[in-house]
């Protein structure tokens, strides 16, 4: 043990900041979970406030809304993860196969750009393009077609959300896969070329299998947050349009609206705990499944 | 190495997964007082000036203290200059105290407010209101109970000056937890500012009644392609027409902060329990929703207004809206429109025969926090701010001669520097009854104000407050349903499907427990009514 410590001294030291970070910001606050079971009073403090059992959770279930919300959150995130992965891996491969360096950098930069735009701005841009007096409608009406606002067309809304999300996030994800592709030994490609493999065959038999571990890890990490919606995105783009809320209300926006009018610390904590528990169950289950299929790629 | 990486990753993932919304476990409450408090025993006022209105009253000013006050709004550019003057001329010599004022911005006060009270920062005084978590924070024990003894001892001047009504309105079950403002205006009464230039040019209907106002909007909507002006350019952040609709039907709220209404018919008598209904379950609301859907279908506002977040007042001021419905700030909007040279305005009282109540005193108040290390000193600071006319004016409007000046009638004239310290930009909760009016006020504004005074009424149940704690779950769930649908009905987005949407809305409210919630409200109201013989 001692030998192990001294041998890895530098590595362990390098670990210390991350470890401290996790302890301070992730483990210590976990004690706050007790708030979910308490009627929090400022004067009594977190641990002195009276216990109320599961009372704080009742509000989530009182209107039966929580199932619809959980479903929305889950389905949106599954769509984001699946399509996100396909697009990110796809674009990473396309970029890696490009020979024109200038165009490659240019394309990559452009793909990355939307990642830095805040959802607030995205929402405004969308309104100005797809809204009542937006660009699309102006072109349509100039061409003699009738007005059509996506804001009152609920059917397509899930598709819209997925598209917007892909537009914004693909660039970022692509960078990760591009890095993974860069890490694949060129010897493999050279050997394949000598054996007469085509570009497609190289992608199919070298690039994709080599990306498997990265894809697995990224997916597992994403699964950990599957019950946690992208609040900024949904809140900004959907706002308080009830027509859209039917298909686009997620746990996060619901809880936000709920507690904005009645700021109750206990209820907020219980909502957070509900979400966290679902995430916890998902990640443990997903990891368990991965362990069965491909034990090398598990997180823990 | 790889295995170790995996472990680290695992720890991090597990950590981030479990890090829930509970936030940090900060539990530093009532940061222990290191200074001696300003209790009336052990009097020591050698540290303050002999002219201080608080000298010789038995307070202990031995320790120099700093009081921190939080208010809502944006920090005026000249705040520091004003504070420096207030501290050096008033608080330091007269109370041996310095005052610090911190601002919670409009954009994030709702998220910061509770955190501030539960966190470790020093907060002695904080703005609160019936619409700004007063009831909730009192229920959570955030504010100090201000009993009669405390008020008489540590807020001697304010205790005398504030009208009894004000104390009654802020009390929850008879207990006072905050000090209300000193001047209540008709903030709950809405009028309409419209484009007079367009009325003249296109011979539009004069909007002098609810029906005519709607007609005006419809006529203007039909002209949109010609004028480029949206009849009522509005958005999801302001529900512009509901208050006016209530005025038209003489609907009155039973109490501040909870959506229970009754038809008052201009009578001050307290309503019978059976005449009270929950706003969103009432037939009035259905009628309102249908009228809004009708206006929306006629293009009075843009069909995606519900996704718009630009401020409606800005729309009127930049000439793209044909009307703005709000309280007396409509005059400001009109002035700004004219100043920009984009058109002329006229203000109409759309419901001139309806009696109107002053906004409650409790819509702006200041509370002393439970965690304040020296609540007595904080109370004295608040008392001084509210009772000393000069200090009060300094805080409200800045330095006389720089930001404003008074004319011979005692009305205030805005000076060039006023933009750096606008009159009453943040100090709504400490204003006084004798706050000077703006000089050279527009005749239209004056007439409007006078009419409001003439038509004032004070319903007999004023002072009744509701305590939702026994139906907290239902209340929270009902609120969430309301917040989901409210803007959509207000902007009529369901069109022909409004009636169906209303039924769906009612069902959702019932599922959320609106009936238990209403029953509890009625029960508490009946109890209050019997106890007070009204």
How many CB atoms are closer than 10 A to CB B489?
A: 25
Compute φ and ψ for B325, nearest 5 degrees. -110, 120
Q: In A, which residues are within 8 Å of B142 by CB distance?
A: 42
Residue A130 predicted with pLDDT over 60: yes
Which residues does chain B have with pLDDT short of 50?
1, 11-35
pLDDT attached to residue B16: 45
Sequence-distant (6+) residues with CB within 8 A of A63 are B477, B480, B481, B508, B511, B512, B513
Q: CA triplet B286, B238, B233: central angle to 5 degrees? A: 95
Please, what sign has the CA dihedral across residues B273, B279, B281, B284?
positive
Q: Decide if A26 and B15 are in contact by the 8 Å CB cutoff.
A: yes
B-chain CB neighbours of A295 within 8 Å are none
Does A83 fall in a domain?
A: yes
Number of structural domains (chain A) is 1
In B, which residues are within 8 Å of A218 by CB distance?
Answer: none
Candidate from B113, B118, B473 with C-beta closest to A59: B473
Q: Could you tell me which residues come within 8 angstroms of residue A260 by beta carbon, excluding any fewer than 6 positions away?
A: B110, B483
Is the CB of residue A57 less than 8 Å away from at least one CB of chain B? no
Question: What is the rounded CA–CA span in Å between residue B215 and residue B205?
Answer: 7
- Residue-level pLDDT at A138: 82
CB nearest B483 (choices: A133, A241, A257): A257
User: Is residue A70, in this structure, part of any structural domain at all?
Assistant: yes
pLDDT for the residue numbered A147: 67
- From residue B448, alpha-carbon distances to A68, A250, B348 in Å are 49, 46, 8
- Closest Cα of chain B to A53: distance in Å? 14
Q: Exposed, middle or buried: residue B505 (CB in 10 Å: 0-12, 13-18, 19+)? A: buried
pLDDT at residue B3 in the model: 52
CA atoms within 13 A on the CB side of A268: 18
Q: Which residue in B1, B5, B15, B22 has the most chain A C-beta atoms within 10 A of its own C-beta, making it the best mutation to test that interface?
A: B22
DSSP-derived pairing of the beta strands B178-180 and B125-128: unpaired
Q: Which residue among B480, B488, B493 places its CB closest to the CB of A254?
A: B480
Chain B residue with minimum CA distance to A62: B512
The CB-based long-range contact list for B116-119 (8 Å cut-off, 24+ gap) reads: B116/B70, B117/A42, B117/B142, B117/B369, B117/B371, B118/A40, B118/A42, B118/A265, B118/B26, B118/B29, B118/B142, B119/B26, B119/B28
DSSP SS3 for B22: coil
Q: In this structure, how many other beta carbons lie within 10 angstroms of the beta carbon of residue A284?
A: 15
| Segment 194-213 of chain A within 8 Å of chain B by CB | none
Contact A280 B18 (CB under 8 A): yes
Assigned domain for A22 exists = no
Residue A289 maps to a domain: no
Strands B65-72 and B97-104: parallel
State the best of B115, B116, B131, B476 to mutate against chain A, taking most chain A CBs within 10 Å: B476
Q: Which residue of A has its CA nearest to B370?
A: A43
Determine the distance in angstroms separating the CA of A202 from the nearest CA of chain B, rounded to an integer. 27
Q: What is the ipTM of this complex?
A: 0.74
Contact A43 B370 (CB under 8 A): yes
Give B278's strand partners: B260
Whole-angstrom CA distances from B425 to A127, B231, B337, B395, B440 are 32, 30, 20, 10, 20
Instruction: Confirm whether A56 is domain-assigned.
Output: no
Pick the closest to residue B324 from B239, B401, B409, B381 (CA basis): B239
Q: Does residue A35 lie within any of the structural domains?
A: no
- Within 13 Å of residue A181, how many CA atoms lie on the same side as its CB? 22
Q: What is the pLDDT of residue B30?
A: 38
Within 133-162 of A, beta carbons closer than 8 Å to B belong to 133, 149, 151-152
Angle in degrees, CA A6, A7, A9, rounded to 5: 60
- pLDDT at residue B346, rounded to an integer: 92
CB of B22 closer than 8 Å to CB of A269? yes
SS3 of B407-472: the string is CCCCCEEECHHHHHCCCCCCCHHHCCCCCCCECCCCHHHHHHHHHHHHCECCCCCCCCCCCHHHHH
**How many H-runs (helices) and E-runs (strands) does chain A carry?**
16, 0
CB contacts of B512 in chain A (<8 Å) are 62-63
Per-residue model confidence as pLDDT tens digits over B366-415: 999 999 999 999 999 999 999 999 999 999 999 999 999 998 888 888 88
Interface probe with B: pick from A37, A48, A241, most Cβ of B within 10 Å: A241
**Pairwise CB contact (< 8 Å): A29 & B480:** no
User: CA A118 to CA A115: how far, in whole Å?
Assistant: 8
A251-261 helix and A265-293 helix, angle to the nearest 10 degrees: 170
B505 in Cβ contact with B485 (< 8 Å): yes
Distance CA A246, CA A239 (A): 12
**CATH number of the domain within which A210 lies:** 1.10.3720.10
From A190's Cα to the closest Cα of chain B, the distance in A is 27
The mean-pLDDT minimum among A179-183, A229-233, B53-57, B183-187 falls in B183-187
| pLDDT at B33 (0 to 100) | 40
Could you tell me if B528 and B461 are in contact, meaning their C-beta atoms sit under 8 angstroms apart? yes
Is A84 contained in some domain? Answer: yes
A123 touches chain B (CB under 8 A): yes
Nearest CA in chain A to B485: A242
| Separation of alpha carbons B193 and B204, rounded Å | 14
What are the respective helix, strand and coil percentages of chain B, to the nearest 5?
A: 45, 15, 40
Query: Considering CB atoms only, which of A28, A33, A240 is closest to B306?
Result: A240
Q: What pLDDT score does A216 carry?
A: 87
Around Cβ A49, how many Cβ atoms within 10 Å?
A: 21
Do A133 and B302 count as a contact with CB atoms less than 8 A apart? Answer: yes
Our CA-based measurement puts residue A300 at a distance from the nearest CA of chain B, in whole angstroms, of 6
- Most B CBs within 10 A among A21, A59, A260, A295, hence the mutation to make, goes to A59
Closest CA to A161 of A134, A123, A133, A131: A123
Helix (H, G, I), strand (E, B) or coil at B489: helix
pLDDT of residue B4: 54
Could you give the 3-state DSSP secondary structure of residue A42? coil
CB contact under 8 A, B6 and A283: no
Partner residues linked to B16 by β-bridges: none
Q: Where are the alpha helices (DSSP H) in B464-497?
A: 472-490
Please indicate, yes or no, if residue A200 is contained in any of the structural domains: yes
CB contact under 8 A, A299 and B10: yes
Residue (of A37, A30, A265) closest to B118 by Cα position:
A265
Give which of A121, A221, A262, A287 to mutate to test B binding, by max B Cβ within 10 Å: A262
A198-215 per-position pLDDT tens digit: 999 999 999 999 999 899
> Which residue, A249, A282, A253, is CA-closest to A72?
A249
Pairs from B107-110 (Cβ < 8 Å, separation ≥ 24): B109/B72, B110/A260, B110/A263
Q: How far apart are CA B111 and CA B132, in angstroms?
A: 11
Whole-model pTM: value is 0.77
The pLDDT value recorded for residue B34 is 42
Return d(Cα B31, Cα B39) in angstroms, integer.
18
Which tens digits make up the pLDDT trace of A67-103? Answer: 888 888 999 999 999 999 999 999 999 999 888 889 9
Question: B95 near B38, Cβ under 8 Å?
Answer: no
DSSP structure string for A108-155: HHHHHGGGGS-HHHHHHHHHHHHSTTSHHHHHHHHTTPPP--GGG-GG
Q: Give the pLDDT confidence of A243-281 residue by residue, as tens digits.
A: 788 788 888 888 887 767 666 778 888 888 998 898 888
Contacts of A63 in chain B (CB under 8 A): 477, 480-481, 508, 511-513
The SS3 assignment for B276 reads: coil
How distant is the alpha carbon of residue A278 from its chain centre?
Answer: 15
- Residue among A47, A132, A265 minimizing CB distance to B304: A132
| Residue of B12, B15, B21 best to disrupt the A interface, most CBs of A under 10 A | B21
Count of all residues that appear for chain B in the document: 534
Residues 222-241 of A with CB under 8 A from B: 224-225, 237-241
**Distances B426 to A190, B71, B102, B326, B400 between C-alpha atoms, Å:** 71, 7, 11, 19, 17
Which DSSP symbol is given to B326? Answer: E
Q: Which structural domain, as residue segments, surrounds residue A125?
A: 65-264
């Amino acid at each position: 043990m001692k030998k192990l410590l001294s041998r890895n001294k530098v590595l362990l030291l390098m670990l210390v900041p991350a470890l401290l970070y996790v302890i301070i910001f992730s483990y210590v606050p976990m004690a706050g979970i007790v708030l979910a079971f308490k009627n929090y009073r400022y004067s009594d403090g977190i641990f002195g406030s009276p216990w109320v059992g599961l009372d704080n959770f009742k509000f989530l279930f009182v209107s039966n809304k929580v199932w619809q919300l959980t479903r929305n959150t889950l389905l949106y995130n599954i769509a984001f993860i699946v399509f996100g992965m396909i697009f990110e891996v796809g674009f990473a491969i396309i970029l890696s196969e490009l020979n024109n360096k200038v165009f490659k950098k240019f394309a990559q930069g452009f793909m990355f750009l939307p990642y830095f735009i805040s959802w607030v701005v995205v929402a405004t841009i969308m309104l100005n393009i797809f809204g009542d007096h937006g660009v699309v409608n102006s072109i349509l009406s100039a061409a003699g077609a009738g007005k059509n606002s996506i804001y009152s067309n609920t059917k397509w809304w899930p598709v819209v959300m997925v598209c917007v999300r892909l537009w914004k996030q693909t660039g970022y994800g692509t960078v990760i896969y591009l890095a993974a592709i860069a890490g694949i030994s060129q010897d493999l490609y050279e050997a394949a070329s000598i054996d007469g493999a085509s570009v497609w065959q190289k992608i199919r038999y070298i690039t994709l299998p080599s990306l498997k571990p990265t894809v697995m890890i990224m997916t597992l990490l994403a699964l950990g947050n599957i019950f946690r919606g992208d609040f900024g995105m949904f809140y900004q783009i959907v706002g308080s349009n009830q027509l859209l809320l039917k298909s686009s209300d997620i746990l996060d926006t619901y809880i936000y609206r709920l507690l904005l009018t009645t700021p109750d610390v206990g209820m907020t904590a219980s909502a957070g705990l509900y979400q966290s528990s679902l995430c916890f169950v998902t990640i443990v289950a997903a990891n368990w499944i991965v362990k069965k299929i491909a034990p090398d790629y598990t997180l823990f | 190495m790889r295995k170790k990486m995996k472990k680290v990753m695992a720890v991090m993932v597990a950590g981030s997964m479990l890090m829930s919304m509970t936030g940090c476990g900060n539990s530093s409450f009532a940061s222990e007082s290191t200074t001696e408090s300003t209790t009336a025993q052990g009097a020591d006022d050698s540290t303050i000036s002999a002219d201080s209105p608080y000298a010789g009253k038995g307070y202990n000013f031995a320790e120099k203290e700093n009081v921190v006050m939080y208010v809502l709004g944006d920090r005026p550019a000249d705040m520091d200059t004003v504070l420096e003057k207030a501290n050096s001329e008033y608080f330091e010599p007269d109370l041996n105290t310095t005052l610090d004022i911190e601002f919670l911005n409009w954009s994030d006060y709702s998220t910061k407010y509770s955190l501030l009270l539960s966190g470790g920062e020093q907060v002695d005084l904080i703005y609160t209101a019936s619409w700004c978590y007063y009831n909730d924070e009192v229920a959570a024990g955030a504010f100090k109970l201000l009993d009669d003894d405390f008020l008489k001892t540590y807020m001697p001047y304010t205790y005398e000056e504030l009208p009894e009504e004000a104390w009654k309105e802020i009390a929850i079950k008879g207990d006072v937890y905050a000090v209300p403002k000193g001047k209540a205006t008709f903030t709950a009464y809405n009028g309409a500012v419209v484009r007079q230039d367009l009325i003249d040019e296109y011979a539009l209907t004069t909007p002098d009644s609810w029906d005519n106002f709607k007609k005006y909007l419809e006529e203007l909507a039909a002209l949109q392609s010609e004028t480029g002006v949206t009849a009522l350019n509005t958005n999801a952040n302001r529900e512009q027409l509901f208050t006016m609709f209530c005025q038209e039907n003489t609907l009155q709220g039973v109490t501040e902060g909870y959506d229970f209404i009754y038809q008052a018919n201009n009578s001050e008598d307290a309503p019978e329990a059976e005449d009270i209904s929950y706003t969103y379950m009432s037939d009035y609301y259905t009628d309102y929703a249908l009228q809004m859907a009708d206006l929306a279908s006629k293009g009075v506002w843009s069909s995606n207004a519900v996704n718009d977040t630009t401020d409606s007042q800005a729309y009127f001021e930049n000439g793209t809206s044909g009307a703005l419905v709000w309280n007396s700030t409509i005059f400001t909007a009109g002035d700004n429109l004219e100043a920009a040279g984009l058109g002329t305005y006229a203000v109409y009282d759309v419901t001139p025969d309806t009696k109107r109540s002053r906004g409650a005193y409790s819509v702006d108040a200041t509370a002393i926090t439970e965690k304040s290390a020296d609540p007595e000193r904080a109370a004295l600071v608040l008392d001084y701010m509210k009772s000393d006319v000069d200090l009060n004016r300094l805080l409200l409007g800045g330095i006389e001669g720089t930001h404003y000046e008074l004319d011979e009638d005692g009305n205030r004239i805005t000076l060039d520097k006023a933009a750096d310290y606008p009159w009453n930009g943040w100090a709504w909760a400490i204003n006084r009854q004798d706050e000077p009016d703006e000089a050279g006020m527009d005749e239209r504004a004056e007439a409007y104000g006078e009419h409001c005074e003439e038509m004032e009424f004070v319903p007999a149940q004023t002072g009744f407050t509701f305590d939702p704690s026994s139906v907290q779950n239902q209340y929270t769930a009902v609120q969430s349903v309301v917040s989901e649908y409210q803007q959509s009905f207000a902007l009529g987005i369901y069109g022909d499907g409004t009636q169906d949407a209303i039924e769906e809305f009612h069902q959702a409210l019932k599922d959320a427990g609106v009936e238990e919630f209403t029953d509890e409200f009625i029960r508490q109201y009946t109890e209050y009514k019997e106890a007070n013989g009204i």
